[in-house]
Amino acid sequence: DAGVTQSPTHLIKTRGQQVTLRCSPKSGHDTVSWYQQALGQGPQFIFQYYEEEERQRGNFPDRFSGHQFPNYSSELNVNALLLGDSALYLCASSQTGRLTGAGELFFGEGSRLTVL
Amino acid sequence: AQSVTQLDSQVPVFEEAPVELRCNYSSSVSVYLFWYVQYPNQGLQLLLKYLSGSTLVKGINGFEAEFNKSQTSFHLRKPSVHISDTAEYFCAVRVAGGTSYGKLTFGQGTILTVHP
């Protein structure tokens, strides 16, 4: 059973460019959340997608946007990249409605973005 | 809003010694509590969680944590550590109930280094 997979694993961009990161959730999961983990920091919640809609959003500007597809996979898009966007971007999936697993997220290994 | 404070940024210990990683949280509503571990260049793995019931929670790899509501703490312990426990550990909270399955608030992390 494949876990959460993310691509690409590493990428380098320059300021002002745009980037798209991709995530495939664990089999059977229908909800995808995205986190940003800056160096030396804990992950910070960006947003969550369920039924192809953004359900919750953290304190991130509109430059950060996302999408969820009918097969539950998801993309994170960041426009007008800033140096401060350099971070590890983590995708996590979960199965909504499973009370026994409430809050348990399965994380991918992340996409490390470097902005020069 | 919720916040999490991990009181130690780094904890060095010798192999087979006991260890405690401290976590305090702040929230005006009931929360679920989690500990995650992150090995170098990997995503986050759930160690244990507290949803309700017994305040002593046992997790994987011999770790356990105790929920103390009066002190708003959720400290992680292991009676005897191994070299392989060297990693970064994150405490996290989520609002209990509702549909906030994806939104975890993380602490800054504690780097546990086990020396031979």
Q: pLDDT, tens digit, for every residue of B71-95?
A: 999 999 999 999 999 999 999 998 8
For A23, A24, A27, B28, the CA distances from A2, given in Å and listed in that order, are 12, 9, 7, 38
Locate the chain A residue with the closest alpha carbon to B39: A109
State yes or no: pLDDT of A100 exceeds 50: no
Distance between CA atoms of residues B76 and B82, nearest Å = 15
pLDDT tens digit sequence for A35-77: 999 998 999 999 999 889 998 899 999 999 999 999 999 999 9
Q: What tokens does A96 get?
A: 């909504």
User: What's chain B look like in SS3?
Assistant: CCEEEECCCEEEEECCCCEEECEEEECCCCEEEEEEEECCCCCEEEEEEECCCCCEEECHHHCEEEEECCCCEEEEEECCCCHHHCEEEEEEEEECCCCCCCCCEECCCEEEEEEC
pLDDT for A84 equals: 96
First to last CA, chain A: 37
Confidence band of A99 (pLDDT split at 50, 70, 90) = very low
Token pair of A115 as six digits: 């902005």
Q: Which residues of chain B have pLDDT under 50?
A: none
- A95 confidence band (pLDDT: 50, 70, 90): confident
Contact B43 A90 (CB under 8 A): yes
Tokens 């590493």: give the residue. Answer: A10
Chain B residues with CB-CB distance to A96 below 8 A: 99, 101
Residues of chain B neighbouring A109 (CB-CB closer than 8 A): 41-43
Residue B93 pLDDT: 93
* CA atoms of A101 and A107, how far apart (whole Å): 14
> Token pair 């999936």 is at which residue?
A93
pLDDT at B116: 95
CB atoms A45 and B102 under 8 Å? yes
pLDDT at residue B29, rounded to an integer: 87
What's the pLDDT at A12? Answer: 98
- Provide the phi-psi class of B35: left if phi over 0, else alpha when psi is between -120 and 50, else beta: beta
| pLDDT higher than threshold 80 for residue A23 | yes
Q: pLDDT value at position B99? A: 61
B75, two tokens: 């400290």
Taking CB atoms and an 8 Å limit, are A43 and B44 in contact across chains? Answer: yes
Whether B59 and B74 have beta carbons less than 8 Å apart is answered as: no
DSSP-assigned beta bridge partners for residue A48: A33, A56
Judged by CB atoms closer than 8 Å, whether chains meet at A45 and B101 is answered as: no
**Per-chain mean pLDDT for chain A:** 91
How many inter-chain contacts (A to B, CB under 8 Å) are there?
71
**Distance, CA of B70 to CA of B46 (rounded, Å):** 25
Asked whether B3 and B11 are in contact (CB, 8 A), the reply is: no
